[in-house]
Amino acid sequence: MVDSLEIREYRAGDEEALVDVWNEFFRKDPLTLKVFERKVLLDPNFDQSGLKIAELNGEIVGFLIGIVRRYPLFYHGLEEENGWITAIAVKTGLIGVSVADHLMVEAFKFFKEKKRKYVWFSPYTPNYFFPGVDPERYGELFDLLVKHGFEKVYEALSMDAQLYPDYSLPDWVVEIEKKLEEEAVKIQSLETRYVYPLLKFIRENFHADWYRHTLELLQSGCDKDQILIAVKHGEVVGYCQYFHGEEYDWHRPGTHFGPFGVRKDMRGKGIGSVLMAKCLQSMRSKGFHNAFLLWTDRETAKFYSRFGFKATRSFYIMRKVL
Ligand SMILES: CC(C)(COP(=O)(O)OP(=O)(O)OC[C@H]1O[C@@H](n2cnc3c(N)ncnc32)[C@H](O)[C@@H]1OP(=O)(O)O)[C@@H](O)C(=O)NCCC(=O)NCCS
């Protein structure tokens, strides 16, 4: 059977079969065709030769999405040393019988042709599906990555908070907000006059993907109260935002919290706490019952736990040196 295995490039028309394989393999993380279209085919760096397809006796039984940057991510550049695998999936029962191994080998050839030094699983911005591998739910994927020379570099935690039935601004946050106002720091929803200062603030202080995220959220016409800012003397010194989901209407108000950041020299004064608490209040006032974030570390998780967030999932960000 395995003799008739062919690894080839993506061809137009494969998409539905790929989503079927995804849904069989990532059984706890189902995907729609629309999300596949948006995050894979419409990704600016999508490369047909990086999307490897495994066919067994003419049937698609697996795939691997490999990607390198063809266009710079704003001020983060091209990351010429890096390549990413954002997903690998095979039909049930085939992971142990070399289909995934063949996909990996072909992917490594792709990355070598592109002169990459590192291959990451799977934190490609903007269109990662997961920060990394979830070893609890997909142990076989973790084992496969280890077998092919990937090592854990760090861990990302997902957290969820319940906002229903009771959510109100904690008294201690109300106190901090008053104190901040005395120091001329105001926490408020974004207004047009602060759009430029906000983008400048993000550009000067945070990763380019955060900049891209806010830019796209605003370009999509999000509600201004989906973005909260901290302002001091006309300058933005902190912000957070929330949005909806993974399909084309991802930018609508929803339960996904973040990104979230405060200027380094302004941290530890309570600005982050007020931003967070008011953001959750805004989410609750639109009728959302919960809030989640996909990616934080164990130290910052302690901050989130003050607002009811609990760790719900752990991902290992893995890397292989080619
Ligand atoms: C997380 C962040 C927004 C908090 O903003 P802030 O204005 O400093 O928040 P506050 O002043 O209300 O509260 C800070 C408290 O959280 C703790 N804290 C927050 N992040 C922390 C971290 N990564 N490690 C250790 N402690 C942290 C602080 O020690 C402080 O504790 P204290 O109240 O006991 O002194 C800010 O630290 C930041 O911008 N970090 C970098 C970006 C980031 O990690 N964003 C979150 C991505 S998931």
Cα–Cα distance between 121 and 316 in angstroms, integer?
Answer: 9
Ligand 1 geometric centre to CA of 236 (Å): 17
Residue 172 has pLDDT above 60, yes or no: yes
Q: Does the structure show a pLDDT above 70 at 57?
A: yes
Residue 2, pLDDT > 60, answer no
Single-letter residue type at 81: E
pLDDT at 92: 84
230 and 268 Cβ atoms separated by less than 8 Å: no
**CB neighbour list of residue 137: distance below 8 Å, 6 or more residues apart:** 28
- Going by C-alpha positions, the residue among 200, 189, 177 that lies closest to residue 229 is 189
Nearest CA to ligand 1 atom 12: 270
Mutational pocket test of ligand 1: of 280, 303, 313, 315, the residue with most ligand atoms within 8 Å of the beta carbon: 303
What is the domain partition of the chain in residue ranges?
A: 2-156, 164-288
Cis amide prior to 189 (ω within 30 degrees): no
Superfamily covering domain 2-156: Gcn5-related N-acetyltransferase (GNAT) (3.40.630.30)
Mutate to test the pocket of ligand 1, among 262, 265, 275, 294 (most ligand atoms within 8 A of CB): 262
pLDDT reading at 1 higher than 60: no
User: How far is ligand 1, taken at its centre, from the CA of residue 303, in Å?
Assistant: 6
CB 154 within 8 A of CB 317: yes
299 alpha carbon – ligand 1 mean position (Å): 9
pLDDT at 8 over 80: yes
Q: For 108-132, what is the mean pLDDT? A: 98
184: burial class by Cβ within 10 Å (0-12, 13-18, 19+)? exposed
pLDDT in the model for residue 178: 98
How far is the C-alpha of 92 from the C-alpha of 113, rounded, in Å? Answer: 31
SS3 content of the chain, % helix, strand, coil (to 5): 35, 30, 35
pLDDT at site 93: 74
Give the mean pLDDT of 263-267.
98
Across 163-170, average pLDDT: 96
128 within 8 A of 86, measured Cβ to Cβ? yes
Ligand 1 and 261: CB distance under 6 A = yes
User: How remote is the CA of residue 307 from the centroid of ligand 1, in Å?
Assistant: 13
Pocket test for ligand 1, best of 187, 267, 302 (most atoms within 8 A of CB): 267
Mean pLDDT of 115-143: 97
> What are the DSSP E strand ranges found in 203-287?
227-232, 235-243, 256-262
- For residue 271, which atom of ligand 1 is closest to its CA? 7
Q: What is the DSSP letter of 28?
A: T
- What is the reported pTM? 0.95
CATH architecture group of domain 164-288: 3-Layer(aba) Sandwich (3.40)
Torsion angle (degrees, nearest 10) of CA 91, 29, 147, 157: 180
Residues 6 or more apart whose Cβ sits within 8 Å of residue 97: 2
Q: Do the first three CATH levels of 2-156 and 164-288 match, i.e. the same topology?
A: yes
Q: What is the pLDDT of residues 204-241, one digit of tens each?
A: 999 999 999 999 999 999 999 999 999 999 999 999 99
